[in-house]
């Protein structure tokens, strides 16, 4: 499975944008980039995913580098409820489709 690298932790202020980076230099052409987040004592929650083009949804935006070796999850206006561990995961288009979690980025939001 192709690996991803994320900073262990990040901190931001409420109502400011947050850019969470993810490096995936060994990504293959059929790997989708998925982002999930996990609040304390809860199961992970799907945030967004993409393949090549940038993606937007009601929760966040995903910016994918042209060479696909890195991506950035963008929270446009962070709230205290966005404090969580964010996981960037590559998902092979074919195969067992299992998600392999890395350590993720623990995001702290300051009021």
Partner 1 sequence: GAVVSQHPSWVICKSGTSVKIECRSLDFQATTMFWYRQFPKQSLMLMATSNEGSKATYEQGVEKDKFLINHASLTLSTLTVTSAHPEDSSFYICSASTRGLGGYTFGSGTRLTVV
Nearest distance in Å: CB 16, partner 1: 26
User: Which strands, in side-by-side order, build the sheet including 70-75?
Assistant: 18-23, 70-75, 61-64, 55-56
Of 80 and 100, CB closest to partner 1: 100
Contact call for residue 98 and partner 1 (CB under 8 A): yes
Q: Is 99 in the site for partner 1 (CB under 8 A)?
A: yes
Counting contacts by CB under 8 A, is residue 7 touching partner 1? no
Q: 96 with 83: CB under 8 angstroms?
A: no
- If one asks whether residue 73 binds partner 1 (CB under 8 A), the answer comes out as no
Which residues pair with residue 56 across a beta bridge?
61
Contact region with partner 1 (CB under 8 A), list: 12-20, 62-70, 73-81, 94-102: 94-102
């Amino acid at each position: 499975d192709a690996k991803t690298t994320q900073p262990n932790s990040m901190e931001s202020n409420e109502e400011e944008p947050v850019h969470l980076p993810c490096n995936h230099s060994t990504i293959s052409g059929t790997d989708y980039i998925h982002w999930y987040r996990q609040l304390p004592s809860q199961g992970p929650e799907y945030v967004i995913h993409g393949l090549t083009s940038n993606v937007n949804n009601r929760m966040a935006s995903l910016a994918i580098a042209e060479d696909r070796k890195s991506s950035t999850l963008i929270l446009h206006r962070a709230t205290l409820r966005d404090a969580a561990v964010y996981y960037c995961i590559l998902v092979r288009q074919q195969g067992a489709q299992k998600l392999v979690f890395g350590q993720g980025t623990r995001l702290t939001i300051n009021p």
